[in-house]
Chains A and B, each alone.
Chain A
Amino acid sequence: MKNSVTLTIDSQNVTVPEGTSIADAAESIGIKIPTICYHPSLTPPAICRVCTVEVEGQRTLQPACVVPVGEGMHVKTDTDRVKTARKVILELLASTVNLEEAPEIQEQIDETGADTERFEGGVKRHFEVKEDNPFYIRDYAQCIMCWRCIQVCADDVQNTYALTWGKRGLESHVATFLDEAMPNTTCVFCGNCVGICPTGALKGLIEYRSEQKKEQE
């Protein structure tokens, strides 16, 4: 049996097993903390930072998806500082990527009142749709760099290692070895990446084609 830990989240007492993340502890008392990159089946990379919360005594905000609870911890999920952080991160994301097919992120944008045009006019993630295999397409203009596809392809699930990161900074993107077409990589077309993609960046070819057709009509 694991030891249990008692803390407060938004002034409510909560007792959970040791090692539970702040996000899970919050959820157990009905406080939903938004996330983007987090997926329960994968190693959380903790990179989107929208799950950010205030933990008393910490200099910076903390990612609730990975930070474990501590005895006597005081967590606040709804302060102005947290709200501003979430709003600005969503504004930044919206200025970079096409989020039309990311309904969960759209919802977060509505909830936080993020101004999607605030950072307009800068460099965007711009890529042509890659249609290089019979199974799925890659539309990286919709890619939010949550790393899920890279992770399922690598150690977290499939151990296939077809995917990696190209460049760095805002230019970083999901890539294959030398940007080769999928059939020339180690990809086994298992479909895990398509299934786990939270936006329209990875999509079955049939679905993509039928959408295209509808658009033309």
Chain B
Amino acid sequence: MSSLNQFANDIRENQISRAALFWLRVFVQHAQNNVLRSDLWIKTGMEEGAVISGLNAADPAARVALLSNYDFFKAVRLKDQKSFSGKELDSLDWNRKYDLSLLPHVLESDDAIETRLEALWQEIGAVSPQDRAFEAVLENRASIWGENIPGRSLLPEILHEAQSIYDGWLSTPVLKRISRALKLPLSDIYGVTEFFTMYYTQPVGKKIIRICEDSACTMRGSQEIQKSLCKNLKINPGETTEDGEYTIEPIRCLGLCDHAPAALVNNTRHFELSLDKTDALLANTPDHPQTRNKIGGMVKIALSNINTIDPGSFEDYQEQGGLAALKKTLQQLTPEDVIESVKASKLVGRGGAAFPTGMKWQFTAGNPPGPRYVICNADESEVGAFKDRVLLDGDPFRIIEGLLIACYAVGAEQGFIYIRGEHRPSYERFVHAAAVMKEAGWLGTGIGGTDFNCHIAVRRGAGAYICGEETALMEALEGKRGFPRLRPPFPTTHGLWGKPTVINNVETLAKIPSIIIHGGAWYAALGTAESAGTKLFSVSGSIQRPGVYEVPFGVPLRHLIYDLAGGIAPGRELQAILTGGAAGTFLKPEHLDTPISYEAFKPIQGTIGAGTMIVFDDQVDLRHILADISGFFAHESCGKCYPCQIGSQRQAEILERIKQGRGLAEDSETLLELAQVMADTSICGLGQSAGWATVDAIKRWPNLLK
């Protein structure tokens, strides 16, 4: 026989919703001589529940659980006076009417039931502190994330907030609450939680440990550290310890290659892990600051403020000349002037595609009047890429200034910055920077005392490399699964919510303020004839000083790898440099004196891409690298088009087999044909380029995979 004490304990331990206490209280308050008709009970409860924020009185679950899980009630059907109690109440036909009453054992006590219930109500209430916190988020969502933004687009942010409030995961009642608040089908919400790896619909450990498993980190022993942790915690990767403390989650490149081997514990970064420092990992107490930027290079444009200003201080930024470009733009330049200046700079997109930035702006500006957007793509997640992270962490105000100038040039009043979910410190930087700028009148309406209005919304990704693809990013911003769109139409006419949209890489926008101040010609003159300006390179792997280096186009590759990044460790030889990242190509020692530029790289089939350079010394087995890279693509394929969905997986399987020494005679031929078909038929750049590194390796080392 269940007691009220048992019931109260179950609520305290979250075995049953607090709403059940609400329903019991409604009954006791409204029953006459311990009898209340079922339809009146429900009607009264719905009315009274409607005004309690966070209580979903319309959900029958708590009411039914109160009746059927606890031996408190009996129900007498009005039609035939048939009596139901205990488990029978579970399947009661609620289209009928019943007289409900509490069983004698509940009423028999020294204190009256009213008194006991009231004490419980004071202690527990109808809504948990977590529910109350989450309700506040839902109620204030417009002021937190921006007015006039369609509800669905807040889904990813709301899922993040819900997880942080509710013990790191999304339970069914929480998902249902979100579904009601955003008026979205449950299936749609579930589809989104399934797409992104950082959302959990099952309980997870209090600390989620993600140790990076990609080239730069594995070359420095990250796998051994993961193995040792798993052994100590007695779990496999992907599992949670019995006590619910730890989950170990396999993850590919964290973008912390300059601090390899690296890990994340929840949102906290851990650098330069070693087997004897796993205690700090388990306690989540790193002994270093969360942002640390290793940079270099002789011409600093995008990097000019990194490590010299306090990235949290708007005053610091302005003292170093920050905002001068925006002021000049607003006071002296028309949008056409800005576009001309950017065109004259010959700046091209720094996210990898190298599309001329000025042209992109001009195409977007040329649309018929109406809403349009500018997005800063800060979803840098490719293997070995971390130059955007350094800019995000070290100079957020410059990125926002560049974004505002872009908005001004194309006539947008709303900008977005979409930051990789794993880069929480970067996200926090931007939330802070945007708030400070808004406070100072440099964001919002009437910017800098002019009639230019522009809002900037900061958004988090949630663990999906594909969302760095521009149309997938737009889908994610709209609150959907990150499926790349079919093109044409292109974003310059049909982008976010189908409106004209400019989407620019972080580094591209970081260059804009300097171009506005010094003029397009100045910037163009910094590089070579066909490759204007400077480029950031993320250099990692078998290298003495991994870091982000800014060089003008035209300097020899040797300057970057040896003078700046310190070259290979003594006693070892350079074997190859993977240029352009996982979807890139290999250069060999004989290419070291080639100038870094689009035109000089073309004949030797080097890739500039987003500026990723992963260096391999003579001890690295390139077959392992190819297997790792192809595994990355298979893991990150969105699954939309057949050639990538299945092809990336088969490519990874073949390369894994070769890595294990079980290659077949026809493997190279199969891989080449597969890569060609993926390049020819995949919807987006991920699938199209997933086989490039392998094809290139076969070309350069014909016997590598035999």
Which A residues are closer than 8 A to B by beta carbons? 45-50, 52, 60-61, 63, 66, 81, 84-85, 88-89, 92-93, 95-96, 118-119, 121-123, 145, 161-172, 175-178, 185-186
Contact with A along B674-698 (1 / 0, CB 8 A): 1011011111000010000000000
- A96 lies within 8 A of B646 (CB): yes
- The complex places the Cα of A181 from the Cα of B677 at a distance, in Å, of 38
User: Which residues on B sit within 8 Å (CB–CB) of A119?
Assistant: 646, 650, 653
B683 and A47: CB pair below 8 A? yes
Is chain B's binding surface mostly helix, strand, loop or mixed?
helix
Would you call the interface of chain A mostly helix, strand, loop, or mixed? loop
Interface size for B (C-beta < 8 A) is 43
Using Cβ atoms and an 8 Å threshold, which residues of chain A touch B190? 164, 166, 175-178
Query: Across chains A and B, which 10 residue pairs bring their CB atoms closest together, nearest first?
Result: A172-B639, A164-B191, A161-B185, A92-B646, A164-B187, A177-B186, A169-B637, A49-B681, A88-B677, A170-B649
Other A-B pairs beyond A52-B680, A175-B187, A175-B190, 5, CB < 8 Å = A48-B642, A60-B682, A161-B188, A167-B195, A170-B646
A176 and B187 in contact, given A89-B643, A118-B670, A168-B195 (Cβ under 8 angstroms): yes
- Does B623 interact with chain A (Cβ within 8 Å)? no
Q: Which residue of A lies closest to B191 (CB)?
A: A164
Using A66-B486, A161-B185 as known contacts, say yes or no to A47 and B194 having CB atoms under 8 A apart.
Answer: no
Measured between beta carbons, the chain A residues less than 8 angstroms from B637 are: 168-170
* Residue from the list B191, B674, B679 in contact with A60, Cβ < 8 A: B679
CB-based contact A186/B635 at 8 Å:
no
B676 and chain A: residue at smallest CB distance: A84
Closest to B466 in A: A168
Q: Is the CB of A47 within 8 A of B641?
A: yes
Interface string of B623-643 (1 = CB under 8 A from A): 000000000001111111111
Contact A60 B639 (CB under 8 A): no
* B29 beta carbon closer than 8 Å to chain A: no
Contact between chains at A177 and B688 (CB < 8 Å)? no
How many Å lie between the Cα of A186 and that of B189 in the bound state?
A: 14
Is A49 a contact of B645 with CB atoms below 8 Å? no
What are the interface flags for B388-427 relative to A under an 8 Å C-beta threshold, 1 for contact and 0 otherwise? Answer: 0000000000000000000000000000000000000000
Would you call A165 and B676 a contact (CB within 8 A)? no
Question: CB distance A85 to B680 under 8 Å?
Answer: yes
The answer, yes or no, to whether B495 is at the interface (CB within 8 Å) is no
Please state if A61 and B639 are interface contacts (CB–CB under 8 Å): no
Q: Mark B178-197, 1 if CB is under 8 A from A, else 0.
A: 00000001111111001100
Could you tell me if B194 and A167 are in contact, using CB atoms closer than 8 angstroms? yes
A sample of 14 inter-chain contacts (CB < 8 A) reads: A47-B683, A49-B642, A49-B681, A50-B642, A66-B486, A85-B680, A118-B670, A123-B653, A145-B645, A161-B185, A166-B191, A168-B638, A170-B634, A177-B189
Please, how many angstroms separate the alpha-carbon atoms of A63 and B682 in the complex? 10
CB distance from B169 to the nearest CB of A (A): 12
Residues of A within 8 A of B563 (CB): none
Which residues of the partner chain B approach A85 to less than 8 Å between Cβ atoms?
Answer: 643, 677, 680-681
Known A-B contacts A85-B681, A89-B643, A172-B645; the reply to A177 vs B187 at CB < 8 A is yes
Q: Are B640 and A163 in contact (CB under 8 A)?
A: no
Quote the shortest CB–CB distance from B487 to chain A (angstroms): 10
Q: Which of A81, A88, A186 contacts B674 (CB 8 A)?
A: A88
B177 at the interface (CB under 8 A from A): no
B677 contacts across to A, CB distance below 8 A:
84-85, 88-89
Within 8 Å CB of B49, what residues of A? Answer: none
- CB < 8 Å: which of A46, A81, A95, A165 contacts B195? A165
